[in-house]
């Protein structure tokens, strides 16, 4: 009887473990959109001074979906180059961390266009890798339709936006690609966080930059904090190794969110040097 009890206890424990394992897989797959994109409908206030410098451009994408672009021009230098800015998850084009970076780009003399993603802010829809890619491509199409040559466009992606940016850059003829806090793939990072799960089978929105970075034909700048715990710097180093020349990695401090603030001197210097290398004059008038 005792042996039978132990045997059935072991079987019961094994069944419970299998059920728990299966439940974890089902829950993660069912909540992938929330976990990967962390979409927010928040529309935080923007200062009057910044509002005066920004233009909101309603759009309809190739699939007929509504979209929005936020545009910051160099009024005195309309021929200045553009940065197509792709933000990360858990934020919108209006979030303070993005507004702060728009301002830094503008002070460096470039113009900025930032598309909002479906399911974020006031743009309807459900986020997905394809939906974010379409929003990015729409911003590119808007620039090209406005007569901006591809040689005057750099693509910038931060965090989740790095995956969107790398995909777009592998398909168009941009002048440069800048990635900040970039990962090799959502599935790679998730596998690091959940090594006991079959992540590569589970993840649908992979953003596999490791596979696409070699197809980018423009100069590459990677910015990454060595103390980034959200996306370890090893991801940036792997992307650097997989990319074609010319390429460079500037390692910073400040974590995943604030290297532009905590390590501002090196951050801005890296951007200024890179912009000077890839764009001929004129830039807009750099601001102090």
Q: What is the pLDDT of residues 88-114, one digit of tens each?
A: 999 999 999 999 999 999 999 999 999
Residue among 167, 172, 90 at smallest CA distance from 127: 90
Structure tokens at 186: 């959502």
Domain edges within the chain: 1-30, 40-278
Q: What is the CATH number of domain 40-278?
A: 3.40.50.1820
Collapsed DSSP state (helix, strand, coil) of residue 151:
helix
Q: Which helix (H) or strand (E) holds 167?
A: helix 160-169
Range with the poorest average pLDDT among 20-29, 155-164, 165-174, 253-262: 20-29
Q: What does the pLDDT read at residue 288?
A: 44
Residue among 25, 51, 32, 139 at smallest CA distance from 89: 32
- Tell the burial category of 134 from Cβ atoms under 10 Å away from its Cβ (0-12, 13-18, 19+): buried
- Tell the burial category of 35 from Cβ atoms under 10 Å away from its Cβ (0-12, 13-18, 19+): middle
Q: What does the pLDDT read at residue 51?
A: 86
Structure tokens at 162: 């790095």
DSSP state of 283: P
Biggest alpha carbon distance in the chain?
Answer: 89
Q: What does the pLDDT read at residue 8?
A: 57
Structure tokens at 104: 């830094």
State the DSSP string of 96-138: HHHHHHHHHHHHTT-EEEEEPPTTSTT--S---HHHHHHHHHH
Residue that wins the pLDDT comparison between 45 and 15: 45
d(CA 144, CA 130): 21
Give the pLDDT band (50/70/90) at residue 29. confident
């Amino acid at each position: 009887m005792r042996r039978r009890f132990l045997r059935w206890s072991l079987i019961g424990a094994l069944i419970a473990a299998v059920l728990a394992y299966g439940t974890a897989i089902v829950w993660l797959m069912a909540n992938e959109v929330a976990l990967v994109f962390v979409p927010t409908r928040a529309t935080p206030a923007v200062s009057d001074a910044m509002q005066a410098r920004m233009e909101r451009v309603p759009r309809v994408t190739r699939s007929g979906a509504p979209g929005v672009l936020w545009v910051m021009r160099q009024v005195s230098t309309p021929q200045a180059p553009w940065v197509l800015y792709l933000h990360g998850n858990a934020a919108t084009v209006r979030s303070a961390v993005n507004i702060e970076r728009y301002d830094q780009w503008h002070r460096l003399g470039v113009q900025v266009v930032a598309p909002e993603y479906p399911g974020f802010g006031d743009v309807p829809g459900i986020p997905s890798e394809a939906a974010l890619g379409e929003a990015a491509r729409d911003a590119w199409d808007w620039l090209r339709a406005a007569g901006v040559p591809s040689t005057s466009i750099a693509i910038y992606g931060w965090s989740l936006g790095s995956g969107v940016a790398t995909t777009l850059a592998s398909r168009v003829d941009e002048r440069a690609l800048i990635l900040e806090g970039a990962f090799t793939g959502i599935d790679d990072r998730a596998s690091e966080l959940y090594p006991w799960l079959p992540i590569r089978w589970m993840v649908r929105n992979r953003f596999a930059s490791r596979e696409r970075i070699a197809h980018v034909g423009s100069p590459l700048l990677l910015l990454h904090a060595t103390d980034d715990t959200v996306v370890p710097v090893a991801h940036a180093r792997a992307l650097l190794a997989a990319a074609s020349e010319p390429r460079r990695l500037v390692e910073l401090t400040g974590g995943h969110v604030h290297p532009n603030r905590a390590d501002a001197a090196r951050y801005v210097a890296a951007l200024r040097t890179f912009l000077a290398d890839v764009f001929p004059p004129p830039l807009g008038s750099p601001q102090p």
